[in-house]
Amino acid sequence: MRLFTLAIALATALTSLPAAAASAAPAPAAATELVVNGTFTNGTAPWWNSANTTMTTDAGRLRVGVSGGTANPWDAMVAQNDIPLAQGKTYTLSFDASASTNVSAVTTVQLGDAPYTNTLTQPISLSPTSKRFSFPFTSTLTTSAGQVTFQLGGGAAHTFYLDNVSLTEAGGSSSSPIELTDGFYVDPESNPARWVGDNGGDYRAGRIEAAIASKPMARWFGNWNPDISAAVSSYVSGAAAAGKLPVLVAYNIPGRDACGGHSGGGAGSVDAYKAWISAFASAIGDRPAVVIIEPDSLGDFECMDDNQKRDRVGMLRYATEQFRDKAPNTWAYLDAANAGWFGDRPGQMAERLLEVGVSNVRGFAVNVSNYYTTSESAAYASAVNAALGGTAKWVIDTSRNGNGSNGEWCNPAGRRLGTPAQVGGPGGTEMLLWVKVPGDSDGECGIAPTTPAGQFSPDIAIRLIDGV
């Protein structure tokens, strides 16, 4: 049974979490932030610059003019001193950076006095497009005189831009992106929001805006994003600026939709996928997020040969490791199909989840892009979790399950919108989310025989609003 479609849709609006749900558990300690004024909202202090640089703020970023003709990276740099470090403790250095032209630089975390011992030395490639960088490391130093540097010399003259710098202790990092934010986030560029913006005079626009476009839903990322780092970083940056929790879907596994649905494609090779998913996780960095990993990827094993299965397992395990290691404030969930597909074999799904490293991430997601009721989905998820030993968490896609499933998966008639995004749900469900974008077609089928997968249809949207 097929599950989902190519949802290229974006998503938007700001919605607060229900107070009761948000306060159901005590807030864990927030990450210990060791960098001061990393957003440069208070000018440049306490950052300092060396010779061969000038430093000011520009549109909320640090702007650094870098002279050409220097011999070494450290001949032109900006830095912050008095960073406390402890040997053996794990930290993550994250920041947004760009330059006026393509150049190389080096960022370090080091002793601020001679002999300037480095505990992190990381070359970075900069371009005019701002990217999110995130580098976990374990300190080899114990000092109260640590230093974070951006070493910019050794190349042609250029302008360097820096923003959202953080250095956090992994030991103090919050395990809950919910507690680090105030409600779910979507942006105003979702497919339904853009349709409303372009068709304000249409009699359906007001209803679609109120019922769909103003609700939080996931943004899907895949091979339609030419620069995955920039795309993810931009989206998560928007959510972080608003203090909201973004939901993202990673959807680029090679051989995607292997059982013959409408959403085939994906990365061109195993190595290409690993580079893509690593960049995805790095682009989130230490900012809070929820990520659904590769819808359908564990359900369609029966449509692959042994070599394809082996590659799929390796790629998914690698993905879980990347989110574990590079995105410490992200809750990531592997896709675990739906109640109609695996409802009679939850143990088999649990075996697949274990094989691909579910213990590396928060848990799993069910009902992505499908229609099974929340109660059916929760019962299925609970059975999968029991087979896992009760150690995982799960979320449910409720975007289109208001009337349940009629057994069809591709644009069936008579379906209805489900419960909008919220924390908590029946049977121990961690979150209810709109993962699929309501109104986006499942493919050229059902009530939308000429609408390609991922394209928004106001007719589908109105049917979901009315349940017809």
CB 43 within 8 A of CB 214: no
Helix or strand (DSSP H, E) at 185: strand 184-186
Distance of CA 202 to the CA centre of its chain: 33
Contacts of 265 (CB under 8 A, 6+ apart): 6, 222, 223, 256, 257
Task: State the catalytic residue, choosing from 75, 96, 163, 257.
Answer: 257
Terminal alpha carbon distance of the chain: 23
Burial class, 391, CB count within 10 angstroms (exposed 0-12 / middle 13-18 / buried 19+): exposed
Task: Mark whether 113 is an active-site residue.
Answer: no
Two structure tokens written together for 357: 């490293």
Structure tokens at 261: 């649905």
Q: Distance (Å, rounded) from C-alpha 324 to C-alpha 284?
A: 12
Q: Give whole-number Cα distances, 397 to 109, 160, 218, 336, 404, in Å.
A: 41, 42, 10, 11, 12
DSSP H or E run through 320: helix 306-326
Catalytic pick among 187, 296, 300, 440: 296
Amino acid at 83: I
DSSP assignment string, 402-421: TT---S--SS-TT-B--PPS
The two structure tokens encoding residue 227: 């620069």
DSSP 358: G
Strands, DSSP E only, in 100-152?
103-111, 118-126, 131-138, 143-151
| Greatest distance between any 2 Cα atoms in the chain | 73
Cis check: omega of the bond before 46, within 30 degrees of 0: yes
- Does residue 311 have an active-site annotation? no
How many H-runs (helices) and E-runs (strands) does the chain carry? Answer: 10, 20
Question: Active-site residues: which are they?
Answer: 257, 296, 442
